[in-house]
Chains A and B, each alone.
Chain A
Amino acid sequence: MSYRVDSQLKDEIKKYGISDWNQCFHCGNCTAICPLSEDKNMMFPRKGIRSMQMGLKEKLHRSVEPWLCYYCGECSTTCPRDANPGEIMMALRRYLTSVYDWTGLSKRFYTSKVWEIGAILFFAMLVISIFAFLAPPLDPTLTAQGGVKINSFAPIYWVELGDWLMALIVASLLISNIFRMYLKVIIADKKVKVPLWLYIKEAWRLIFHFGSQWKLSKCDDKKYWVIHWLLMSGYTIMFTVIVVFLPWFQTQEIHPISHPQRFLGYYATFGLLFGLTVAMIGRLRKKDVKFKFSHVSDWLFVIMLFLTTLTGILVHIFRINGMPYLTYYMYIAHLAVLVPMVMIEVPFSKWSHLAYRPFAIYFANLKKSAQKLQAQKYPERAAA
């Protein structure tokens, strides 16, 4: 198979946060030390670095390997050239996100601080102006339980409508981008034909890997698996509750602590805060390899999510303690961080990895199984 060489590719990828693309001398240490790297379609990071250096654009677009990496940093610590394979994988993930994204916004957000921060501010201002113009008069009276009448300020109906609208936009963007990923990874690879039943047979991987982060548990440092899992599960619970069960979650009633609305909320916010605090301290201290290099998008991701969680908790505290004005203003602040975070980070930026990563594992395994089938069917071709 022949590839067209794109001599600009490395300069293009450099914009996504690689300090020196030329350091690697291809000793293979990173691939060998990586506990997740496997034969054939799952060999990384060296081969990805090779494609980048050589300008093999199509080959890079076809590869899912960058998504299989969870960035434990072992490769960067032991790299004899200080080439930082882990960080290159990170940059390739950013690059691939922008490749999958058909709107072209992802590239803008990743390569320009002005665009990314501008877009966040735009959505924040949008939320604030909606409330400024459309919010009903603030009701300072309290419920019989002594809580704030949150639903009089932000009617469930309208908030839910907004929720669904946002979910629709984000989901259609993500699904279309995943479809583009599928086209590049599976369809464009002429060497592998995946039979239909295999898609169904392997589908469990999607849910399993999304839910368990199983691959991360294979990395040497298990503590990041626990932290990442807490973060992911907290986020998933919150997201589901807010989008699907909003009338049940956003209540005026003050439930007892044993009520699932309370303890699920507390668990999720704990998971989020804990994971984010570890990430922020790590990124500030820069001791751990995985936190040594921080792209703007890395910082925005943790800060936005942290602020969302924090304002959410404050809304809750103010509400149950009967502080109407603080509750209302905090609610606006909460949405002013949450909306841009969901609209920018999830489809276009760092957060998209929550969709791409399970699909990458799914696609990689599809290819692997399909190749195995082909090898059984045509042993002579496989040998060649």
Chain B
Amino acid sequence: MTTKAVGIYFIDGDHPGAPPGKDFSALIHYAEKLPGVKLAQGTGNGWQWDADAVAAEIKQNDLKRVVIAGDAPGFYKTFFCRAMSMAGKDPENVFVASFREYVALGADETDRVKAGLYCAVLGIPLETAISPGETDVNPDTLVIGGGIAGIQASLEIAKAKKKVFLVERTGTIGGYMATFDKTFPTLDCAACILTPKMVEVAQHPYIKMMSYSEVKGISGGPGNYQVRILRKARKVNVNTCIGCGTCAEKCPGTAPSEFDAGTSMRKAIYIPFPQAVPNKYLVDAENCLYIQSDGKKCGVCKKACPVPDCIDLDEKEKEIVVTVGNIIVATGFKPFDAKRAEQFGYGKYPNVITSLELERLVNASGPTGGFITFRARDKRGNMIFSTANGEPASVALIHCVGSRDENYNKYCSKVCCMYSLKLAHLVEEKLPEADIYEYYIDIRAFGKGYEEFYQRIKGEGINLIRGRTAKVEKSANGRLSIRSENIAEDRIVEQEVDMVVLAVGLEPREDAAELARMLGIPLGEDGWFLEANSHTAPVGTSVGGIHIAGVCQGPKDIPDTVAQASAAASRVIQGIMRGKVKKSAKDMPHKDIEARAKQLAATGGQP
């Protein structure tokens, strides 16, 4: 465009009523100097959302193209389209420059925002203008995280006969899914779906599984990464251990079982759960008497072990380096720490439990053999669940603990509604006489078959109460008292129950930021890894050869996680097949993007 006929509006906030606070003056200053720009202004204080006025302005300045820029200004596109058509212009010529998406495409924020503005002024999407070129790729792949996402991605790639290194932090692969009893909405047995896949991973000739290991450092670039992996000392030889369990029988050290979400105790030498892969024992150094006493005490496991030289309590951790072309990050989440929401009394009242704890209780292979019981102190002084403690006659489930809350996490954790409905059903199944109450803000049954599942649970005699629980307190008779508004029935309910289950949300892992720094990929606002484009590249990142899958990208359920894992794998395989991988979008300099955008604009958008 030779004449000046572009108008840029900088939108303050991403929704009406959002607090203003952005200082766009530097960007406005930059935008005014771009070729063809006639008008650049912010919609800050005192700006009127009046389509007539904007239309008049467009007409007066004879604007041919309008760019709306801001963090996520897409919301306002319809407003400006209307103003354009009111001014007698083509409403198609409204372009959105969304800074939040651009950040995902580059390391330097202002640099990438400026490039995005430049492209929008020319009417070229930034993603099109960025083409950093390609480089040769190493055919091996690293998958970080051995949950359902990592397992699925590894299997997909291995089935294409490409080598995969699967790194898992704990002693077994399987992740959170292995701890679940049933999956929603079909109520299929989670273990029955997962364990065959776990075994397949262990036996697959193209997968090198590294459990009890962590990624410590990454160097190199797209197509050729050198990854330092720390193989933590398992103290048990994986090749010779026969998993007989004699060592654990004799071991004096105990600790709460991580796999059972702390509902039961395990030994210091332990196997995470009976179907663990690899099905071999490992030693928890912090609770091992021998290690804590520097080899002066104990050591009974070594004596008890029937296999010679299988247990080596003096084994040291070691580091190895692998070279890969692609990396799939599938590190998952951590559950919200229910103690932070003090009003619900978790940690204060023993029978306020989290959904993950209930998940283990209802599981037939769980610590209570599938019985839902009270939590009480056992003979050794540990707070555990046991059938000796009795069963609750009424159970309340509280939704949105730590989610959709400005005090903790603003976002919806997406899975809690459905898993709470599922748990309500399972409680109903295990305790047919019990009264079950479920307190929710909204039921978000968003997936295929989910609404039907919700309707089914509704018909099962579970009391669904619309209203967020304000607090859980101990009532005079020692039971738990819940106060909430029943919005549908227009009253305040004070309900006494025996057990309260908190539907805890999902949070990014504590070390997600550290891993993001190592990999050079950006983190989103909420701390989840940021995808390259939420619509067109949901599993890609701004770094070439690094892909994300599963909950580490944002809360999602098992079907979505598996779908993403397969998608990430397909991107990896695609690159390996061509022998090329895209370089990092963030490495393309501002000047090159501008030049390419100019060239694209000259040829009418065709490269």
Contacts and interface: CB of A to CB of B under 8 A. Distances in A.
* B and A form one assembly: yes
Interface of A: 20, 22-23, 25-33, 37-40, 43, 46, 78-82
Contacts of B485: 28-29, 31-32, 43, 46
B472 to A, nearest CB: 11
Given A38-B492, A82-B406, A28 B343 contact: no
Given A22-B17, A32-B467, A33-B471, A39 B491 contact: yes
A191 to B, nearest CB: 13
B407 A31 contact: no
Contacts of B471: 32-33
Contacts of B388: none
Contacts of A81: 406
Contacts of A79: 406
B492 A25 contact: no
A25 B441 contact: yes
Interface in B459-479: 466-471
Interface in B401-426: 404-407
A38 B494 CA distance: 11
A32 B491 contact: no
- Report which residue of B343, B400, B485, B492 has the largest number of chain A beta carbons within 10 angstroms of its beta carbon: B485
Contacts of B467: 27-28, 32
A81 B406 CA distance: 5
Could you say which of A23, A29, A33, A37 has the most chain B C-beta atoms within 10 Å of its C-beta? A29
23 contacts: A20-B17, A25-B441, A27-B468, A28-B467, A28-B484, A28-B485, A29-B485, A32-B467, A32-B469, A32-B483, A32-B485, A32-B492, A33-B343, A33-B470, A33-B483, A37-B492, A38-B492, A40-B490, A46-B485, A46-B487, A78-B470, A80-B400, A80-B405
Given A37-B492, A43-B492, A80-B406, A28 B487 contact: yes
Main secondary structure of the interface of A (DSSP, over half): loop
Interface string B157-200: 00000000000000000000000000000000000000000000
A29 B470 contact: yes
5 tightest Cβ-Cβ pairs between the two chains A and B:
A28-B485, A32-B470, A27-B468, A28-B467, A33-B470
Contacts of B469: 29, 32
B490 A27 contact: no
B603 to A, nearest CB: 46
A336 B487 CA distance: 50
A82 to B, nearest CB: 4
Nearest to A27: B468
Nearest to B343: A78
Interface in B479-517: 483-487, 490-492
Contacts of B442: 25
Nearest to B491: A39
B473 to A, nearest CB: 11
Nearest to B403: A80
Interface residues of B, number: 24
Contacts of B404: 25, 80
A79 B408 CA distance: 11
Nearest to B469: A32
Interface of B: 16-17, 343, 400, 404-407, 441-442, 466-471, 483-487, 490-492
Contacts of B484: 28, 32
B487 A26 contact: yes
A32 B17 contact: no
A39 B492 CA distance: 6
Contacts of A43: 485, 490-492
A20 B486 CA distance: 25
Contacts of A20: 17
Contacts of A38: 492
A178 to B, nearest CB: 28
A46 B406 CA distance: 17
Contacts of B441: 25-28
Residue of B405, B407, B466, B492 most packed against chain A (CB within 10 A): B492
A81 to B, nearest CB: 6
Nearest to A25: B441
A25 B403 CA distance: 14
A80 B441 CA distance: 11
A28 B483 CA distance: 10
Contacts of B470: 28-33, 78
B468 A29 contact: yes
Contact of B491 (A26, A27, A40, A80): A40
B468 A32 contact: yes
A136 B118 CA distance: 80
B553 to A, nearest CB: 24
Given A25-B441, A43-B485, A31 B492 contact: yes
Nearest to B408: A80
A283 to B, nearest CB: 22
Contacts of A28: 441, 466-468, 470, 484-487
A365 B343 CA distance: 31
A28 B466 CA distance: 8
A101 to B, nearest CB: 29
B492 A80 contact: no
Given A30-B470, A33-B470, A78-B407, 8 more contacts: A20-B17, A26-B441, A28-B466, A28-B487, A31-B485, A31-B492, A32-B484, A39-B491
B490 A80 contact: no
A219 B575 CA distance: 65
Contacts of B400: 27, 80
Contacts of B491: 39-40, 43
A28 B487 CA distance: 7
A219 B407 CA distance: 22
Contacts of A27: 400, 441, 467-468
Contacts of A29: 468-470, 485
A303 B108 CA distance: 51
A46 B468 CA distance: 12
A81 B471 CA distance: 17
B243 to A, nearest CB: 47
A78 B484 CA distance: 13
A240 B558 CA distance: 72
A46 B487 CA distance: 9
Nearest to A20: B17
Contacts of A82: 406
B17 A80 contact: no
Contact of B407 (A37, A39, A40, A80): A80
A33 B486 CA distance: 13
* Most B C-beta atoms less than 10 A away, residue of A27, A30, A43: A27
A275 to B, nearest CB: 29
A256 B491 CA distance: 58
A30 B404 CA distance: 15
A23 B17 CA distance: 9
Count chain B CB atoms within 10 A of each CB in A22, A26, A28, A30 and give the residue with the most. Answer: A28
Contacts of A30: 470
Which of B17, B442, B470 gathers the greatest number of chain A CB atoms within 10 Å?
Answer: B470
